[in-house]
Structure 1
Amino acid sequence: VLFNKRLRFDVSLYNTNSYDQILSVDVSQSTGFRSKLLNAGKINNKGVEVQLGVTPIRKQLTWDIDMNYAANRSKVIELDQAGLLQNYVVATNSAQVIAAVGQPYGTLFGNAFLRDGVGNIIVNATGAPQTDPTKRVLGKYTPDWIGGISNTFTYKGISLGVLIDASFGGSIYNGTYATGTYTGVLASTLPGRAAEFGGISYYYPGNVKANGTVRLADGATVPAGVTVYDDGMIFDGVTADGKRNEKILSAQTYYKSFRTIDEANIFDASYVKLREIKLSYNLPSKWIRPLSLQGVSVSLVGRNLAILHRNVADIDPEVAFNTGNGQGLESLSNPTTRSYGINLNIKF
């Protein structure tokens, strides 16, 4: 505390180890059981927590600013003392949350696009993206840092508080996006659905889909007896021999091809929220003294009022972060709700 309590500052550093997590591991079927519980594991957490408070104005009007910041780095040191267990599945949706030795706790693991040596996605003979046969680490659900800032203005018994909080870094498996893209119900799947939305004109020779698609050039004559479609799309990738992909897919096939590739449904989980606005009034002492009360305040409160910034569409990224082990995996979750209320606080 400095400058007559106008500046408040606190910093904490920590480096801790957590032991004996409860794990369910498979056992030989000859035992008559499928799994057993054991206490094992060692996870290291190190990080910093910072709190800063400033009072720029302290007259009839008081203005208090309070800020907080926290960053944590976790690492799985071991899963069993013998060192035989290197990966442990914590939760599964399509992607998985795993604990892996040497990785941060809460690693997201799943199917990825098959890529060439320079990172281009490789398509199959029909022009659809291929899945890498080896599952990959796709991110981690834990944020790089979290923080918040509150502003409180007080004047003659009336106070107004505004709280904004944020979380940056970390990833989320967006099951709503995966399903919505597959079924075509999201606005993001509109491109390519028709010519006015950028769809490419094409046809199937002989009207047989097994013959593959042929692009119909602008102004070209339509072959007799074939149906022309205008919902064609080309996936941005390369063929197995490194040539630029030119195969046309129907928009439906194009969007459906992402469903089983977890990497396509992993998004940055960062957000900034207007968490709370609170307007309070402290009743004057002369009003409550006859009632033998020390204080009475009435407050109007609104919480979860707005998402000011997010990097994932269609959902609130916070819905995938609960108190269970399945954090980071979202699946058709309900929208978060705003809440409004009146608080009455009485001090006897």
Structure 2
Amino acid sequence: MTSDSQQKYLGDAIPKLFGGFTNSFSYKGIDLSFMIYYSIGGKLYDSDYAQSMYYRRGYSMHPDMLDSWTPENPNAEFPRLTNYYAYANYMSSYTSKFIFNNSFARLRNVTLGYTLPKNFTKKFQVNSLRLFVQGDNLVTIGSAARRGTDPEQSISGTTANRFPVTKSVSFGLQLNL
């Protein structure tokens, strides 16, 4: 059981600093642009991770559960697993163990393109022809990404079974007649 005397302030979800930077380069028909978003500070209660850290038959579990207490592993990071009471492990998830520093950086967008030379496109009565590949949300660095959850959350600072940001890669052709 817990009491009010055991409660303490552990921080809030608002980051100390956040922002992004972008740049673009081009050289001899090749262009590259990117946008990186970052957030420094703020706390995250990772309820998705907490829920994946208790034993329920028929549900997937996080690989970190391999570091649960056993007689052979008495210094484990997580408590002993039990199937006696289905929610016994879950009840222990309401702890500060699942509150993390939510600093992260994400490659929000990167685009690599090539514009064919004009002397080539003129033959086809085309002003310009550019081929490109674009990736969105390809890389995230931070503790949430290592746990498999998305660090971009609401102001509440919890993951709350939210669908993560989607990674995507697209190819394109830009044609100007």
TM-score calculated relative to the size of structure 1: 0.40
- 2:169 aligned with 1:340: yes
Larger strand share, 1 or 2: 1
Which amino acid is 1:190 matched to? L
Distance (Å, rounded) in 1 between the aligned partners of 2:98 and 2:54: 11
Q: Which residue of 2 aligns with 1:194?
A: 70
Q: Which residue of 1 aligns with 2:18?
A: 146
Over aligned residues, Cα RMSD in angstroms?
3.5
The answer to whether the 8 Å contact 1:142/1:171 transfers is yes
Which of 158, 173, 180 does residue 45 from structure 2 map onto?
173
Matches within 5 A, 1:186-225: 186-198=62-74
The answer to whether the 8 Å contact 2:69/2:77 transfers is no
Unaligned stretches of 5+ in structure 2? 83-87
Unaligned stretches of 5+ in structure 1? 1-123, 125-129, 200-232, 236-249
Q: Which residue of 2 aligns with 1:280?
A: 113
**How many residue pairs get matched?**
166
Deviation at 1:136, TM superposition (A): 6.3
Q: Which has the higher Rg, Structure 1 or Structure 2?
A: 1
Which of 312, 318, 329 does residue 158 from structure 2 map onto?
329
Q: Which residue of 2 aligns with 1:217?
A: none
- 2:101 aligned with 1:268: yes
Structure 1 runs, 4 residues or longer, greater than 6 Å off: 133-136
Deviation sequence 1:24-44 (CA, Å, 0-9, x none): xxxxxxxxxxxxxxxxxxxxx
Deviation at 1:331, TM superposition (A): 1.9
Matches within 5 A, 1:231-270: 251-252=80-81, 255-261=89-95, 263-270=96-103
| Higher RCO, 1 vs 2 (CA within 8 Å, ≥6 residues apart) | 2
Deviation at 1:175, TM superposition (A): 1.3
Q: Which residue of 2 aligns with 1:216?
A: none
Distance (Å, rounded) in 2 between the aligned partners of 1:140 and 1:290: 61
- 2:143 aligned with 1:311: yes
TM-score calculated relative to the size of structure 2: 0.70
Which of 130, 139, 143 does residue 297 from structure 1 map onto?
130
Which amino acid is 2:162 matched to? S
Larger helix share, 1 or 2: 2
Deviation at 1:346, TM superposition (A): 3.3
The structure-2 alpha-carbon separation of the partners of 1:131 and 1:331, relative to structure 1 and needing over 3 Å to count, comes to farther
The structure-2 alpha-carbon separation of the partners of 1:270 and 1:189, relative to structure 1 and needing over 3 Å to count, comes to same
The answer to whether the 8 Å contact 1:174/1:265 transfers is yes
- 2:36 aligned with 1:164: yes
Deviation at 1:300, TM superposition (A): 0.9
Which amino acid is 2:69 matched to? R
Q: How high is the sequence identity, in percent, across the aligned residues?
A: 27
The answer to whether the 8 Å contact 1:146/1:167 transfers is yes
